[in-house]
Amino acid sequence: MAGVTRIACLFVPDADPRGQPALLEIALRHSPSVEDGGPGIVYLDLGGLERLWGGEHEIAARLQRAARESGAAARVGIAGSRAAARFAARAGGDVAITIVPPGRDASWLGPAPLALLGLGPEMAARLDRWGVRTLGELADLPSRGLAERLGGEGLRLQRLARGEDAPPLRLWTPPPLFEESADCPWGVEALEPLGDLLAGLAEMLCARLRRHELSADAFEWTCRLAGRAVHEGACAPAAPLADPAAAAALLRASLAARPPAAAVEAVTLRARPVRVGNVQPRLDEPPRPSPRLLTAALARLSALVEASGIGSSVLLDSHRPDAHQMTPFVLVSRDAVIPSSSPALAMRRIRPPLSADVVLHAGAPARVRAAGLAGRIVAGAGPWRVSGEWWTEAPFVQDEWDVELDDGTLCRLARDARGWRLDAVYD
Amino acid sequence: MATSTESLPPPGWDREGLDGLLNAFPEGRLSEIVGPRSSGGGSLLLALLARAASRGGLVALVDGADAFNPETAARAGLDLSALLWVRCGGRLQPAWSAADLLARCPGFAAVALDLGTTWGTGPAAAPPSFGVRLQRAAAGNAAVVVVRAPRHLTGSAAALVISVRRVRARWIGAPRRTRLGGLVSEARVLRSRFDPRLAEPGRAWLIEWRA
């Protein structure tokens, strides 16, 4: 088959775009020339692969088997062009492998329905009005007249219908793996030298990232401990970075938060690369912390307090009291907004709520005593029932009172099946 | 919501409103908000952070008492994604260090240290010369650095000290109260190095915080 181009199309119907890298990796294991055709579609150039993998049917079967092992139900079409191979894969029906013999692309495509072209509704309706229903009928139309009526799009569709697919494959190359390792068979037991080791790896990774004009938005480290146990950790900077000093500070803090339990014999550091465009700040934009300094500050903060307690809060769509979630703090540009004109009364949450002794009078709280707070209630409003999530395993229901004590303290009391609690203080 | 005549300040009070008070917080200097619990000090701190964030800046809150309530902060107009919240879990020792660290990180519009009211170990645990050190940390940057504490603890280091006291609570519903409507508090400037007129005797801001 020397001199004849043969293209295989690996096609997964209704594919999840997240599975595309796995599909590309499968293709790359079989051919060095691979093109990413969009979600669920990968093209391979089969030139010269017979000696390696066998005939076309064997290659197709291998591709299909590898895709199945990765959890994808793939079809394979092989033809002389991308379009014909894709049509063959899509039109296969129950047959998972469809091979169009060399030189037979046009005749094979002729009776195929126009739907294989994936036309928009307008174009499909127009061709249907002309009585064009197969690829062969579209291929036979005079090109000049087609161009006059449908423009460049019409000519493009006709070329596809004829199986003409002249441009070479746009080769896909896997993203570079940003990973560095170091062996220390003598075993590193102290955190400081281990941090130095990670800092060295971070310096090499950051140098490689900068050469590719990339930054890292996450780091993962893996330590192989004495006794073959594995100790892992991850950390993410507030903004993508390629600065070795900031990365080293972040990794040291991450390591200090999750110290290994035994001597480390090997350590591996991986960075997740992202491309960050250089955007010039606007003149009216307020200053923001530099990613390098902020990352270093966050790394040092995580050595002072729990890393899970540093970040931004996001309110949850729930009526449960104090329903929020911590998320990593990220640097994003914000526009100025009109500030709220109505000053709001701040509530200070007591976490966890304090158990309280409450004396009732005529069904309403009259006195309260809790750790750090006691007094007669001079005014109050309630109860307001708060309940929800009864459909989950952790439903909540409680009655709430806002009360004013004789010393002026404004606070929120709550009562549920466990008793009275001091939930919050207004301030 | 209409403002009742009862909530209007007496003549001579609140001449510049809350904005006037918030404008008094100097950049690159240490400020302090002092007042017992339920005095409105926490609300003033929240208003300061919300205003700084509304201008597009980033703000940081070192929450010594782990008492920050995101729900009321959002209601006060604070963009939660612009807030770096550092929860110290009721431990004040790391809170001092965290505030010092963030005050030295350039780029924030405001850095606040909230020491709570009376819960936790209390501000009695403040390290010696804490105020001076925080003032030095603040001096290099353009951030408003503010400490909220139940009593004055930064000594002479703070360029602005505001004392807040509770005037009255406002309840809604008559004759039977149905809900808390808000809190009226009075703020006085005890010290202002940049505008001593703010600290003139008899000058006060009466602010109504809506619940």
Instruction: Give tens-digit pLDDT for A10-65.
Output: 998 888 878 888 889 899 888 889 998 888 899 999 888 888 888 888 999 999 89
pLDDT above 70 for A277: no
Q: Is B140 on the interface with A (CB under 8 A)?
A: no
Chain B partners of A381 at a C-beta cutoff of 8 Å?
171-173, 177-180
Report B:91-110 residues touching A (Cβ under 8 A): 91, 94, 97-98, 101-102, 105-109
Give the mean model confidence (pLDDT) for residues B85-101. Answer: 90
pLDDT of residue B114: 94
Q: Say if residues A384 and A403 touch (Cβ distance below 8 Å).
A: no
pLDDT above 70 for A180: yes
Hey, are the CB atoms on B98 and A290 less than 8 Å from each other? no
Q: Is B57 on the interface with A (CB under 8 A)?
A: yes
Q: Say if residues B35 and B164 touch (Cβ distance below 8 Å).
A: yes
β-pairing, B83-87 vs A310-315, is antiparallel
C-alpha distance from B136 to closest chain A C-alpha (Å): 17
Q: Say if residues A177 and A208 touch (Cβ distance below 8 Å).
A: no
Give the mean model confidence (pLDDT) for residues A205-214. Answer: 89
Q: What does the pLDDT look like over A141-172, one tens digit per residue?
A: 888 888 888 888 888 888 888 877 767 888 88
β-pairing, A364-370 vs A373-388, is antiparallel
Question: Which of B112, B98, B122, B171 shows the shortest CA–CA distance to A307?
Answer: B98
pTM equals 0.68
Query: Nearest CB to A336: which of B56, B67, B94?
Result: B56
Phi then psi dihedrals of residue B134, to 5 deg: -70, -35
Let me know how long chain B is. 211
Q: What does the pLDDT look like over A226-273, one tens digit per residue?
A: 888 999 998 888 778 888 888 888 888 888 888 898 999 999 999 988
pLDDT of residue B82: 93
C-alpha distance from A385 to closest chain B C-alpha (Å): 13
Where residue A2 falls among pLDDT bands split at 50, 70, 90?
A: very low
Let me know how long chain A is. 427
Q: What does the pLDDT look like over A366-419, one tens digit per residue?
A: 999 998 889 999 999 989 999 998 988 889 999 999 999 999 999 999 999 999
Question: Which domains, and CATH codes, for chain A?
Answer: 7-161 (3.30.70.270), 177-280+288-334 (3.30.1490.100), 347-426 (no CATH)
CB atoms inside a 10 Å sphere around CB A425: 24
pLDDT of residue A415: 95
Chain B partners of A287 at a C-beta cutoff of 8 Å?
57, 106-107, 109, 142
Chain B partners of A335 at a C-beta cutoff of 8 Å?
56
Average model confidence (pLDDT) for chain A?
A: 87
Hey, are the CB atoms on B91 and A326 less than 8 Å from each other? no
Where residue A279 falls among pLDDT bands split at 50, 70, 90?
A: low
Q: Say if residues A350 and A423 touch (Cβ distance below 8 Å).
A: yes
Where residue B13 falls among pLDDT bands split at 50, 70, 90?
A: very low
A214 CB-contact burial (10 Å; exposed 0-12 / middle 13-18 / buried 19+)? buried
Q: Break chain B into its structural domains and give their ranges.
A: 26-170+180-210
d(CA A385, CA A396): 10
β-pairing, A347-361 vs A419-426, is antiparallel
Give the mean model confidence (pLDDT) for residues B175-191. Answer: 93
pLDDT of residue A380: 94
Partners of B87 in beta bridges: B63
Q: Is B116 on the interface with A (CB under 8 A)?
A: yes
Query: Nearest CB to A346: which of B46, B107, B109?
Result: B46
Hey, are the CB atoms on A424 and B69 less than 8 Å from each other? yes
Q: What does the pLDDT look like over B127-146, one tens digit per residue?
A: 778 889 999 999 988 899 99
ipTM for the predicted complex: 0.90
Hey, are the CB atoms on A343 and B18 less than 8 Å from each other? yes
C-alpha distance from B32 to closest chain A C-alpha (Å): 16
Hey, are the CB atoms on A343 and B76 less than 8 Å from each other? yes
d(CA A208, CA A222): 20
pLDDT above 80 for A341: no
Query: Nearest CB to A410: which of B54, B73, B183?
Result: B183
pLDDT of residue B189: 94
pLDDT above 80 for B8: no
Query: Nearest CB to B55: which of A286, A314, A345?
Result: A286
Partners of A425 in beta bridges: A348, A411
What would the two tokens of residue B152 be? Answer: 């004055």
Interface A-B, measured as beta-carbon pairs within 8 A, has a size of 213
Q: Is B182 on the interface with A (CB under 8 A)?
A: yes
Strands of the sheet containing A97-99, edge to edge, are A34-36, A41-45, A7-11, A75-79, A97-99
**Terminal CA-CA length for chain B:** 12
Of B5 and A221, the one with more pLDDT: A221
Hey, are the CB atoms on A305 and B46 less than 8 Å from each other? no
pLDDT above 90 for B62: yes
pLDDT above 90 for A422: yes
Domain B26-170+180-210 indexed as CATH 3.30.2010.20: no
pLDDT of residue A20: 86
Of B4 and B95, the one with more pLDDT: B95
